[in-house]
Each structure stands twice: as structure tokens, then as C-alpha cells.
A = this chain, B = another copy of it.
């Protein structure tokens, strides 16, 4: 809780401090992923579960778009839908994510079916979609601010995964290249919006809580992957089993 009103710079510093403590680049599963310590089956499980996050982003963005009050704001937010859903079949972030899962040997139909998803992935992603749908516009925009921190993790990921896994190619990582320019553009807009509109102590507390919540979503997804796929015997009933798919 903030107990006094922060300046815009102080608010930004507080948001960045949340990322420094809670962004999922600090999670042991991500460190292992980037360091080349995972098996192909474990990388498959990550890509399969993360697919549900990617595929849910347009639902999240569309529900916010539907509530934005001006054409200017809606144009800005509509660009995110174009980035994820593309402009024709086979384009956009979701299609590029399917190149990753296909490159890892997973069948597109299986990935899209969500049949092998960890229940925790579903609960965490659904919590994010609902948060954006139900909370204030300010909180919904603030929850996107994890993108402030994503260029670093994406660079680490591309370098680490290309260097460390024989089954990963530049083509399978095609998702990430556009994100290196999209994420800073999107987060710059969201940060400017939050700096301008979070003026009361209550609004500033809500903005900080929204970013903490979003970090929790990403962290929960990695907790579930680390638990299920790194220690033998922990895959929950019904979830993807690498040996039967790889």
C-alpha cells in the first residue's frame, strides 16, 4: 500500500521494483530453460502450457478494447490484437507460437485442443483474462506492464535456447523476434497511461497490486511446470506426458 501520493517518477520506480523482485525471469524453471538444463520433453511441456497464455491474450485485449472510451485508446489497443491474431491465416503471435510447438514435435491439433494443459496453467491464465475484464481500465492497463521487463527475458531466452538445445532453431523461435519491438512500444504506452492516470493513493495502490497480480500469474505457471515436469512422478492426472508424445 502507498500511504501518500507518489510522483509519476516514484510510481514508475515502484513498478520497476516489483519487476526486479517478482518477474518470472527470476524463476528457477526459466533459469533452467535458458541454461539448456531441460530435456526436450520439458521444453515441450513449457511451450504447450504457454500456448494457452498466448492464445488467451486476444480475449484479454478484446475485453479491454470493448471498454476503452476513445478511438485513440482503442486504436492503440487494437494493434495488440493485430500483433497476436495477425492479418491473415498463418500470421501473428499465436501462429508463430504454433511454429515453436510444431518445431518441438507437438501436433498443432493436440496443442490447440488444450487437452494436455496443466490445470494450474488454466486457472492462472483464466484469472488474468478475468482480471482485465472485471477491474478498472487503469488496473487492466497496469497489469500489462510485465512487458516492461520482457525484452531482457526474450533476449536471454533466444540466445540461451539457440545455444543450448540442438532441437531449437531460429525458425522455431520466430515468435520472439517481433516481440522485441512490440513489447517496448506497448509497454511505453501503458506506462505513460498509468503515470498520467494513477493520481490518488488508492489508484496508485491498485496499479501496483495489478502488476503484482500479473507477476503472480506468470510465476504460478512456472511453479506448476517446475513441479510437474522436473521432479519425476508429479505430472497431474490427465496432463501432457512427454514420453507418450515426444
Contacts and interface: CB of A to CB of B under 8 A. Distances in A.
Interface string A211-237: 010011101100110111001011011
Interface in A21-43: 21-22, 28
Interface string A118-147: 111011101100100000000000000000
Nearest to A218: B119
Interface string A39-69: 0000000000000000000000000000000
Contacts of A122: 127, 216
A238 interface: yes
Contact of A28 (B119, B130, B234): B234
B119 A220 contact: yes
A216 B119 contact: yes
A28 B233 contact: yes
- Place the interface of chain A in its size category: 20 to 34
Interface string A188-214: 000000000000000000000000100
A contact patch SS: helix
A238 B127 contact: no
Contacts of A118: 220
Contact of A212 (B21, B123, B231, B238): B238
B233 A216 contact: no
A219 B233 contact: no
Given A21-B237, A28-B233, A238-B22, A123 B223 contact: no
Contacts of A216: 119, 122, 236, 238
A37 to B, nearest CB: 16
B120 A223 contact: yes
- For A119, A130, A220, A227, the residue with the greatest tally of chain B CB atoms inside 10 Å of its CB is A119
A231 to B, nearest CB: 8
Contacts of A233: 28
Interface of A: 21-22, 28, 118-120, 122-124, 126-127, 130, 212, 215-217, 219-220, 223-224, 226-228, 231, 233-234, 236-238
Given A28-B233, A126-B127, A127-B127, 7 more contacts: A118-B220, A119-B216, A123-B127, A216-B236, A223-B227, A223-B228, A223-B234
